Amino acid sequence: MDTNAAFISEAITAAGAQVVWRTTVGDNVDLIVEAIARAMQRSELVIATGGLGPTNDDLTKKAICKYFKRQLVFHDDVLKKIEERFKARGVSMPAINQNQALLPQGAEFIENEIGSAVGIALAEDGSLFVALPGIPDEMRLMVSGWVAEQIRRRAGNFAIIHRRIKTTGIFESALYEKIADLVENRGGYQDGDKISVAFLPSWRGVEIRLTIASEDPSEGRRQLAELEARIAERIGDYIFGYDEETLPGTVGRLLKEKGATLAVAESCTGGLVGKLLTDTPGSSEYFVGGIIAYSNELKVGLLNVPEALLQKHGAVSEQCAIAMAEGARAKMGTTLAISVTGIAGPDGGTPDKPVGLVFIGLAAPGKSKVMEHKLGGGRERNRERSATLALDMVRRHLQGIE
Amino acid sequence: MDTNAAFISEAITAAGAQVVWRTTVGDNVDLIVEAIARAMQRSELVIATGGLGPTNDDLTKKAICKYFKRQLVFHDDVLKKIEERFKARGVSMPAINQNQALLPQGAEFIENEIGSAVGIALAEDGSLFVALPGIPDEMRLMVSGWVAEQIRRRAGNFAIIHRRIKTTGIFESALYEKIADLVENRGGYQDGDKISVAFLPSWRGVEIRLTIASEDPSEGRRQLAELEARIAERIGDYIFGYDEETLPGTVGRLLKEKGATLAVAESCTGGLVGKLLTDTPGSSEYFVGGIIAYSNELKVGLLNVPEALLQKHGAVSEQCAIAMAEGARAKMGTTLAISVTGIAGPDGGTPDKPVGLVFIGLAAPGKSKVMEHKLGGGRERNRERSATLALDMVRRHLQGIE
């Protein structure tokens, strides 16, 4: 699972580079050398990640030495820094980490502020090769710092500008139809100064990504803003945010604006809605907590759902969703409370109540609402989509959208 | 973020193929054609995902037509199936989905049981090219079914066998040192009949992956089992599972074996521990639920943490972690309860209690335990690692490991 490549693409595009190719190869020196050779022919900048660790299966340094025809040289100053890092954590350095002070001759090194593998940079025929550690936090600091600085220095005014419009609650094709005339012939890759438009669906919604490559960034931004405004006019109700904004973050911002607080009552999502809300730093300003009532006993005991209600309608019902939300709001003393109860699967479905049936309840001052959804996917998808629908129900309520 | 490639690699390796190269290119027909051409030269099987959707930015079919020199032909039977699918969901098909019935002439089609984009297969010069939809659920069904069957038919007895040993609670280099003599000269790629060993660290622990390529799968499995046993002898306490096993799944299995139940009391993890426990189908057998006490008011009100304790020691303290776990166990009537309280960051740290300081409490019949951890990473890492440490504390308790 390559989470690094996604980060690097975003970060270096923001700095002014255009990503054209990405390759993954097995742990084999000859394959790595071949991948480096092809990439160095193709691009001015080549970034490799991973394989700088101390163990035997870390082969990137060997491949670098083979491709660039260098020797590994021992660097005493690098070893000292690695030893100090272990010391600061109160552990003695395993002997094997000495390997990480063996580095290709004549390379430039990129300091690692939080780990033991330094980055390695080598230039050849006008192209720059950079090898970074595979551990995400360490790689990210180097990309955002040293690598981005190299790109900005070369890119000058030229910039690739993105605007991401984030929607949820609507199919990709239905969304497309609403704005087809605005985005026609804008498919595909950057084409001169024209804005390109991509639709990126996921379980959490559809992202519309507008991109323009421009020597005049402020003019590029103006064009993006113009198209964005026309799109928002058509589909505004489905938009929960832009660029780095997240749905839980938007819910948090709206709650803060209204001085409101929120609690959760979760059954099938098992804590996921609370987890998503607390992904955002500072969420304690509006999120007080919640009750994970996975068993019926806890729905009764902690959320005051009447036993008779459970017997008559079952735990997966409109009535139970409302009782859970109202119980959570009363128990935790918040402005709003949201509840989720459903059948996540793969088991537990019946003809009447199939896998994917989910009820989401919202308790607010003076009124409660409930929504029924038929999702019908796998367990993970049903849980992720249920949590997203719950958060979006809070967003719509706070924005006065029906 | 390419989650598809990780799945495909695992699935086709299990079927007997060896993955040698993976490429990602931008939404540009010429780049896609170049990538197909290189891959068809290199491999007997080439799998592409994505770009089969109905919108303008979906270019894979255009690239296939260009590389294989085919025309797009309209398939009435395919359109009928797509229309039926929308009908079953109670929505009418957007006109744009008609595009998905336009398919390259002379190709074989792979049915999509849950979506509207069919898979496309074309053979040339002994290599097979397959284009699959990018939506994970749809792609997965086709890979596990049609594609795996093609590979098994060609592979015969030859098999690549993996064994994944999953550990947590120990650094990669410390783990390596404990078993260095067993895994030396086993780095890197498959080398004849020899077992290769890779160390794959993540926030949740270090996975040791043993791989052997063999014409005699039962002999290969015997060799893997022998090495696995020698490794487990050294580091058994850190191993929580093998292959597809997960830490929450192992905790669940151990709870079921002992007829025990579990509740959670979460502060900084905000519901993540509950979410992880309920990832496993059937978790309602041992997990009853929990309380997300993000605010101090709820720690007092719902978990009966004494106010005086909070004032004296603070919410991030040994004392509070124990009180939370004991409060959860009493309130929810379970055999065990686990609590997490800490400073996830990026804000809220002090010199005494820095970001990354986490206390995990475990309440069990007749005794409580607490552990202190200094993690010191970003918010997401601190929360993921805290949840993992909490689950591992339950595992160790149930297995009698100190």
Q: What confidence score (pLDDT) does residue B186 get?
A: 67
Q: Do A274 and B264 touch (CB under 8 A)?
A: no
Q: Same structural domain for residues B134 and B254?
A: no
Q: How many Å apart are CA B400 and CA B251, to the nearest integer?
A: 13
pLDDT the model gives residue A154? 85
What pLDDT is attached to residue A312? 98
β-pair type (B127-132, B45-49) = parallel
- Tokens coding B172: 């990669």
Q: Average pLDDT in the B94-98 region?
A: 86
Facing B57 at nearest CB: one of A197, A266, A301: A197
* C-alpha distance from A13 to closest chain B C-alpha (Å): 13
pLDDT at B220 over 60: yes
List of chain A residues whose C-beta atoms are within 8 Å of the C-beta of residue B206: none
Mean pLDDT of A321-341: 98
Task: Name the E strands within A239-279.
Answer: 239-242, 262-266
* DSSP-based three-state secondary structure for B202: strand
Residue B197 has its nearest CB partner, among A57, A270, A331, at: A57
Nearest chain A residue to B295 by CA distance is: A288
User: Chain B: residue nearest A2 by CA?
Assistant: B2
Residue A294's pLDDT is 96
User: Does A56 contact B184 at a Cβ distance shorter than 8 Å?
Assistant: yes
Structural domain ending residue among the three candidates B212, B242, B272: B242
Q: Does A330 touch chain B (CB under 8 A)?
A: no
Please check whether residues A122 and A48 belong to one and the same domain: yes
Q: B300-310: buried (b, 16+ CB within 10 Å) or exposed (e) per residue?
A: bbbbebeeebb
**Coil, helix or strand for B256?**
helix
What pLDDT sits at residue A186?
Answer: 67
Residues A35 and A142 grouped into a single domain: yes
pLDDT at B305: 98
Give yes or no: residues A146 and A232 share one domain: no
Alpha-carbon distance of A167 to A176, in angstroms, equals 12
Q: Please give the structure tokens belonging to residue B112.
A: 């999509």
The pLDDT score that the predictor gives to residue B6 is: 87
| Phi and psi at residue B19, to the nearest 5° | -85, 125
Could you give the C-alpha distances from A175 to A186, A207, B118, B140, in angstroms and in order? 15, 10, 21, 25
- A85 or A193: which carries more pLDDT confidence? A85
Q: Which of A81-95, B60-74, B81-95, B171-185 tops mean pLDDT?
A: B60-74
A215 contacts A247 by C-beta, under 8 angstroms: no
Chain A residues with CB under 8 Å of B21 CB are 23-25, 31
Tell me which chain A residue has its CA closest to the CA of residue B283. A294
Separation of first and last alpha carbons in chain B: 39
Low-confidence winner among A3-7, A299-303, B370-374 (lowest mean pLDDT): A3-7
**Residue indicated by tokens 């058509």:** A234
- Token pair 């809300």 is found at A277
Task: Enter the DSSP assignment of A93.
Answer: P
Tokens 């559809």, residue located: A206
- pLDDT of res. B103: 92
How does pLDDT run across A367-402, given as a tens digit for each residue?
999 999 998 778 999 999 999 999 999 999 999 998
Q: Give the pLDDT confidence of B194-205 residue by residue, as tens digits.
A: 888 988 888 899
- Model pLDDT, residue B187: 54
Percent of chain A with pLDDT strictly greater than 90: 70
Of residues B55, B268, B298, nearest to A172 (C-beta)? B55
Tokens 């299990």 locate to B14
pLDDT value of position A115: 83
Report d(CA A83, CA A80) in Å as an integer: 5
Quick one: three-class SS letters along B352-389?
Answer: CCCCCEEEEEEEECCEEEEEEEECCCCHHHHHHHHHHH
Question: Which two structure tokens, joined as six digits, stand for A107?
Answer: 């390379």
pLDDT at A189: 43
Find the mean pLDDT for residues B228-249: 97
Q: What is the mean pLDDT of residues B104-127?
A: 91
- Who contacts A73 (Cβ-Cβ below 8 Å, separation ≥6)? A102, A103, A104, A105
What pLDDT score does B192 carry? 52
Shared domain for B163 and B284, answered yes or no, is no
More confident residue, A293 or A201: A293
- pLDDT for residue A325 is more than 50: yes
**Which of A197, A270, A283 has its CB closest to that of B275?**
A270
Q: Where are the alpha helices (DSSP H) in A43-88?
A: 60-68, 76-88
B-facing residues of A in 1-60 (CB < 8 A) are 1-3, 5-6, 19-29, 31, 53-59
**Chain A interface test: which of B186, B206, B266, B275 (most A C-beta within 10 Å):** B275
Q: Which domain holds residue B111?
A: 3-155
Tell me: do A168 and A149 sit in the same domain.
Answer: no
* Residue B395: CB atoms within 10 Å: 21
pLDDT tens digit sequence for B166-191: 999 998 889 999 999 998 766 544 44
φ, ψ dihedrals at A246, nearest 5° = -120, 160
Q: End of a domain among A108, A124, A155?
A: A155
Pair A147, A15 in one domain: yes
Per the listing, tokens 């299966």 go with A57
Average pLDDT value for residue range A84-93? 80
Q: Cβ separation of A283 and B270 shorter than 8 Å?
A: yes
Give me the CATH number covering residue B223: 3.30.70.2860
User: Any residues with CB less than 8 A from the CB of A351 and at least 6 apart, and which?
Assistant: none
User: Are B172 and A379 inside 8 Å of each other by CB?
Assistant: no
Nearest to A189 among B28, B96, B288 (CB): B28
Cα–Cα dist A36/B58, whole Å: 29
pLDDT above 60 for B331: yes
Q: State whether residue A302 sits within 8 Å of chain B by CB.
A: yes
Residue pLDDT, tens place only, A260-307: 999 999 999 999 999 999 999 999 999 999 999 999 999 999 999 999
Distance CA B244, CA B279 (A): 13
Chain A residues in contact with B22 by the CB 8 A cut-off are 23-25
Task: Confirm if B402 and B396 have CB atoms less than 8 A apart.
Answer: yes
DSSP per-residue letters across B50-99: S--SSSTT--HHHHHHHHHT--EEE-HHHHHHHHHHHHHTT-PPPGGGGG
Calpha distance B275→A270 (Å, rounded): 5
B contacts of A333 (beta carbons < 8 Å): 297
Predicted local distance difference test score (pLDDT) of residue A53: 83
Q: Token pair of A333, please?
A: 């003393």
Q: Residue holding tokens 């151990």?
A: B254
Only one residue has tokens 């805290």, namely B386
- The mean predicted confidence, pLDDT, of chain A is 92
Output the DSSP codes for B107-171.
-EEE--SSSSPPEEEEEETTEEEEEE-SSHHHHHHHIIIIIHHHHHHHHTT-EEEEEEEEE-SS-
Q: Are B129 and B175 within one domain?
A: no
Number of domains in chain A: 3
Shared domain for B366 and B279, answered yes or no, is yes
Q: What number of other Cβ atoms are within 10 A of residue B14's Cβ?
A: 16
Task: State whether residue A123 is helix, strand or coil.
Answer: strand
A300: helix, strand or coil: helix
Q: Rounded to an integer, what distance in angstroms lies between the CA atom of residue A6 and that of residue A24?
A: 13
Segment A12-56, tens digit of pLDDT: 988 888 888 999 988 889 999 999 999 999 899 999 999 888 877
pLDDT at B278: 98
Q: Could you identify the residue written with the tokens 């309920």?
A: B278
Q: Do A20 and B26 touch (CB under 8 A)?
A: yes
Q: Hunting for tokens 């060896």 — which residue is that? A: B18
In three-state secondary structure terms, A122 is: strand
Range among A60-74, B78-92, B104-118 rated most confident: A60-74
| B162 part of contact set with chain A, CB < 8 Å | no
Statement to judge: residues B34 and B95 lie in one domain: yes
Residue B235 and residue B277 share a domain: no
Contact (Cβ atoms closer than 8 angstroms) between residue B4 and residue B10: no
Q: Do B283 and A270 touch (CB under 8 A)?
A: yes
The answer on A234 and A347 residing in a single domain is no
Report the pLDDT value the prediction gives residue B65, as an integer from 0 to 100. Answer: 95
Q: Residue A198: which H helix or E strand, with range?
A: strand A196-202
- CATH number for the domain harbouring residue B72: 3.40.980.10
Domain with residue A253: its CATH number is 3.90.950.20
Picking from A97, A121, A155, the residue at the C-terminal end of a domain is A155
Measure the CA–CA gap between A101 and A88, rounded to whole angstroms. 18
Which pLDDT does position A229 carry in this prediction? 97
Residue of B25, B97, B188 lying closest to A57 (CB–CB): B188
Round to whole Å and give the CA distance between A198 and A182: 12
Task: Report whether pLDDT(A2) > 80.
Answer: no
